[in-house]
Amino acid sequence: MRLSRYFLPIIKETPSEAAIASHRLMLRAGMIRQAQAGIYSWLPMGFKVLRRLENIVHEEQIRAGHHPMLMPTLQSADLWRESGRYEAYGEEMLRITDRHGRDMLYGPTNEELITDIFKNAVGSYKDLPMTLYHIQWKFRDEVRPRFGVMRGREFFMKDGYNFDIDEDAARHAYNRHMVSYIRTYERMGLKAIPMRADSGPIGGDNTHEFLVLADTGESEVFYDSNILDLHLGDREVDYDNWDGVKAICDEWTTPYARTDETHDAAIWADVPADRQQVSRAIEVGQIFYFGTKYSDALGALVDDGKGARKAVHMGSHGIGVSRLIGAIIEAFHDDKGIIWPEAVTPFHAGIVNLKQGDTDTDATCDQLYQGLIKAGLDPLYDDRDERAGGKFATMDLIGLPWRITVGPRGLKNGVVELTSRKTGESEEMSPQAAIARITEIYAQV
Ligand code: ATP
Ligand code: MG
């Protein structure tokens, strides 16, 4: 993309309404604009990051054997009356009446709808196990929307639902989700720790939240620092191997890690004092096993192959896709701006032309731009007629991991400068070498 043709409305001043870095930087970098309290428009660059996260989530869910689909945002109130949650959900639910006087709602989650779809289509144990998910906008009328996309009213969430014949199979589905989530967050460059959590109004007795450590997080967490050393990396995972998947979960759930709601001082006391960590953290996902709560309420039964009809065992599993962008920026920024991990950056590299209109610098920038595109990458070329200082400040603010600077002085020696946003270190090399280096870096992401 050529910056002169792009829509990147950067704000120089610090927006006064933003209390935390990620909110400030998303506004300043032209990623989002507030439409109403807790409701945002995603401008082109913000939307690109959202899509990148969405793709990672899809890839890891599909790898785990889960099926993508799409359910509507608007749901009928009747299904929620059947489960008893239409009243129970309270004021967070946005209720709407259509022209015929029918009660509808903007979905805050989808247990009812998916269970209804399932029960009308599946009648036999032979169709199990089955996990369906979608990535769709949700609405919760939060009392205090704040921190930008971190606690919005409208937000983008992956929610998945497993249907299994019995508790053992559903526990495997739970474990499968835990492992696929660990891999998902790792791929985004984040350390999200699964922590024992409170099941809240959704019911059930088995749940973990995934938390990213950050001073600005809304949760208080207690954990054994040993958990920070765990990495899934590119380990082969066979998602059909119950014991193999459970072994990975055991690895992650053995060190103490709990939110304040489930914190247990007696067990905590057994963690060696030098490993006890207390911190703030951001909830970026949660997995639940809740048994037959919704299948009982909505009549989702299958024949079990032995002549009986049984309610299916279910769980639901969510990832806060839009919140994750805030969490990533909280984890990766400095006083100049965002520092994107390579896996989620909106553009792979920025090209800065220090002397727009100069025959040589223009030609070299074009060569870099076309070369990176040919290599399958997505560069952002700052081809505006602006001072170098302004161009650098823009690149630092929007946080692309790599910047190539092209100026007349370097070109005399046939070199451009490749700079890492993370370390600030620069290296001179030929334009071809810069393209090769960046291509190689992204081949490993
Ligand atoms: P919270 O405790 O933060 O209100 P929750 O536990 O009610 O969240 P879940 O129902 O577990 O949320 O939803 C799954 C994920 O969706 C959460 O882990 C979180 O990352 C994200 N999420 C929930 N509420 C919001 C919101 N208001 N804005 C942005 N993301 C949200
Ligand atoms: Mg939650």
Q: What is the dihedral of CA 179, 180, 181, 186, to 10 degrees?
A: 90
pLDDT number for residue 56: 98
**pLDDT, position 343:** 97
**Can you give the C-alpha Rg of the chain in angstroms?**
24
Cα–Cα distances in angstroms (integers) from residue 427 to residues 116, 338, 366, 424, in the given order: 59, 21, 20, 10
For ligand 1, atom 14: residue with the closest CA: 318
Residues 312, 416, single domain; the answer is no
For residue 151 and ligand 1, the question of a CB distance below 6 A is answered with yes
Ligand 2 centre and the CA of 321: distance in Å?
13
- Check whether residue 184 and residue 110 sit in a common domain: yes
Same domain, 111 and 36: yes
Residues 174, 47 contacting (CB under 8 angstroms):
no
Of 6, 2, 46, which is closest to residue 399 (Cα–Cα)?
46
Expressed as residue numbers, the domain containing 15 is: 3-337
Same-domain status, 303 and 405: no
- Nearest atom, ligand 1, residue 157 CA: 16
Confirm or reject: Cβ of 155 under 6 Å from ligand 1: yes
Mean pLDDT split into 10-residue runs, the chain, 445 residues = 98 91 98 97 98 98 98 97 93 97 97 95 92 98 96 98 97 98 98 89 74 96 98 96 98 96 95 98 96 92 92 97 98 98 98 97 98 98 97 98 98 98 98 98 96
- Specify if 96 maps to a domain: yes
Q: What is the rounded CA–CA span in Å between residue 276 and residue 147?
A: 28
- Report residue 84 as tokens: 């008893």
Distant-in-sequence, close-in-space partners of 336: CB < 8 Å, separation ≥ 6: 393, 396, 397
Q: Identify whether residues 195 and 115 lie together within a single domain.
A: yes
Q: Whole-angstrom Cα distance, residue 321 to residue 217?
A: 16
Nearest protein CA to atom 26 of ligand 1, as residue: 151
Residues 40 and 102 in one domain: yes
Residues 332 and 367 in one domain: no
Residue 68 belongs to some domain of the structure: yes
Q: Residues 45, 172: one domain?
A: yes
Q: Tell me which ligand sits closest to the C-alpha of residue 316.
A: 1
Q: How far is the CA of 123 from the centre of ligand 2 (A)?
A: 31
CA 304–ligand 2 middle distance (angstroms): 32
The pick from 26, 93, 157 for probing ligand 1's pocket by mutation, whose C-beta has the most ligand atoms within 8 angstroms, reads 157
**Is 387 found in the same domain as 274?**
no
Indicate which CATH number applies to the domain containing 59: 3.30.930.10
Tally the domains of the chain.
Answer: 2
Q: Where does a domain end: 286, 318, 337?
A: 337
Residues 419, 288 share a domain: no
**Domain end residue (candidates: 319, 337, 355):** 337
Dig out the tokens for 313 from the structure: 């065992």
The neighbourhood of ligand 2, an ion, using CB within 5 A, equals: 286
| CA 388 distance to own-chain centroid | 34
Residue 400's Cβ-side half-sphere holds a number of Cα atoms within 13 Å equal to 28
Report yes or no on 98 lying in a domain: yes
Neighbouring C-alpha atoms within 13 Å toward the C-beta of 296: 6
Domain membership of residue 267 (yes or no) is yes
User: Quick one: pLDDT at residue 201?
Assistant: 60
pLDDT at 115: 95
Does the C-beta of 156 come closer than 6 Å to ligand 1? no
In a domain, 342, yes or no: no
pLDDT for 200 = 67
State if residue 107 touches ligand 1 by the CB under 6 angstroms criterion: no
Does one domain contain both 363 and 285? no
Residue where a domain terminates, one of 291, 316, 337: 337
Instruction: Kindly state whether residue 153 falls inside one of the protein's structural domains.
Output: yes
Whether 235 maps to a domain, the answer reads yes
Which domain CATH number covers 394?
3.40.50.800
Residues 332 and 356 in one domain: no
